[in-house]
Structure formats: C-alpha cells, structure tokens
Amino acid sequence: MGQQMQTGVIEQLRQHINRLTVGGRILTGKTCSFGEAALDGALPWGGLPTGSLHELVGHAPAIAGFLSAYLGRVRTSRPILWITPEQQLYAPGLAAYGLDHRRLTIAWTRRSQDRLWAFEEALRTPGYAAVVAEIDSADLTATRRLQLAAEAGHGLGLLIRRDAAPSAALTRWRIDPALSDGRNPRWSVTLERCRGGQPASWLLDWDHASLHFRLVAALADRSLAAAAE
C-alpha cells in the first residue's frame, strides 16, 4: 500500500472513531431512531445515541410536539421524565403524538438552577428512556457535566434551551412550526450542529394514523448558502 493511500485510510479511520466517541470514550449505548430515513441518515449513529446529551432550540410548542412524537417510539418499556418551569405541559395532549402519558412524569420547578440540578441527577439514574429539561441557559461547563451524567446513567438527555451558547451536546436542533395541510402537524426541522455530521434541514409531517414522521421536503441549509455568497 502506498504511503498516500495508507495516510488516507488512517484519516478515514480517525474520522470514523471521532464520530463514535465523546471525550475519548466510545459511545456503546442503544441508538434511538427517528423512524425517518432522512433524519437518521444525517446522523453518524443512525439516530440519537443513548448516554449522550442533545439540544433543541426554537418554538416551544413545536418542540413539545416534535419531542412527543419522537419519544413515543423511544425505549417504549421505560419511563420518561420531563422537567419544566411551567404547569402547562398537558400529558393527554402529548399522547396525540403517540407518547403514552402513563410513561410520563412531569417535574415542575421555577428556578433554572433547580431544573439543572434535577436534570443532572436524573441523567445519572439508570432506567429512564429519556430525560427532558427546559432550561433558559447552560454554559459549556454545565453541559459537560450533563454529558458525563448521561454517560453514567446510559440515558438520553434532551435539553430545551433559549440561548445558543457553546455546548458539549452531541447535536443541536432547531424546531419551528411550518404551514401544514390542516390535517397533520408540520415542522421545520434543522440539524444545526452534529459531532461528525453536517447541518441539514427538512420539512416533516406527523402522520397520526401511522404514528410516524413523514418527510415533506429536504431544505437547503441557509447558513451554508449565505456563507457561499
């Protein structure tokens, strides 16, 4: 094997390992699929890996619907904890997206530091299908702690945040409502950042009949398009 080819193979292996590791530790947990090939195919792991932290920003009600649709198919024998600052999360309404309200525990506290503490402790506790927390902001140190907690508990951490500060999360998603056909909810979904992956955007419907996401269209990444101009 020539030196140039050997160097290329080594670099490919290095990139592959980087996609599968966090802080030098290999992600060995279960992968939680979206059930939609376009989204799963954009992620190096074929879905969101457990033992890791992921972030969502955007329109709060749209995020709640999108997450409910996703979590309804994630590790269905396990409970889900949702930590929120408001008493407006309506479990039976989330069930319309396929999330069984009997799996869902809602923890409510106004103080952001209390939610952050509860999130970290829950992520360290084995047994949850996922832990969701709505937190105004979290700095890089806090998200590193959350990532380590998710690794310790082999959990799936989903952080809904308002800011876009630097973070140790594996992925960051932007979820906004989109004009629908009037029958099914529709979201504009953007993968803004992904360790080992590339930004991408889609329009997605939620099919109530089959309880599955349905791709409407793949969208050009506006940030990449703007950078090229």
47 belongs to a structural domain: yes
- Report the candidate in 153, 193, 149, 151 with the shortest Cα–Cα distance to residue 170: 193
Given a contact cutoff of 8 angstroms between Cβ atoms, the answer to whether 128 and 80 are in contact is: yes
11, 17 contact by CB (below 8 A): no
User: Taking the CB of residue 97, how many other CB atoms lie within 10 A of it?
Assistant: 19
Q: For the segment 145-160, what is each residue's pLDDT rounded down to a tens digit? A: 999 999 999 989 999 9
Percentage of the residues of the chain whose pLDDT score is greater than 90: 64
Single pTM value for the model: 0.83
75 is a domain residue: yes
pLDDT, greater one: 188 or 10: 188
Report pLDDT digits (tens) over 160-219: 998 888 999 999 999 999 988 778 899 999 999 999 999 999 999 998 888 899 999 888
Which residues, in sequence order, are CB contacts of 128 under 8 Å at separation 6+?
A: 78, 79, 80, 81, 122, 153, 155, 156
23/64: higher pLDDT? 64
Over the stretch 25-60, which tens digit does the pLDDT of each residue have? Answer: 445 568 999 999 999 999 999 999 999 999 999 999
Residue 37 lies in a domain: yes
Better-scored residue on pLDDT, 220 or 161: 161
Alpha-carbon distance of 46 to 48, in angstroms, equals 7
Summary mean pLDDT of the chain: 85
Measured distance CA(81)–CA(122) in Å, rounded: 8
Looking at the domain assignment, is residue 45 inside a domain?
A: yes
Any domain includes 156:
yes
Total tally of structural domains belonging to the chain? 1
Q: Is residue 88 part of a domain?
A: yes
Full residue range of the structural domain in which residue 155 is found: 32-172
The CATH number linked to 51 is 3.40.50.300
- Given a cut of 90, is residue 114 above it in pLDDT? yes
> Which pLDDT does position 136 carry in this prediction?
87
210 is a domain residue: no
49 lies in some domain: yes
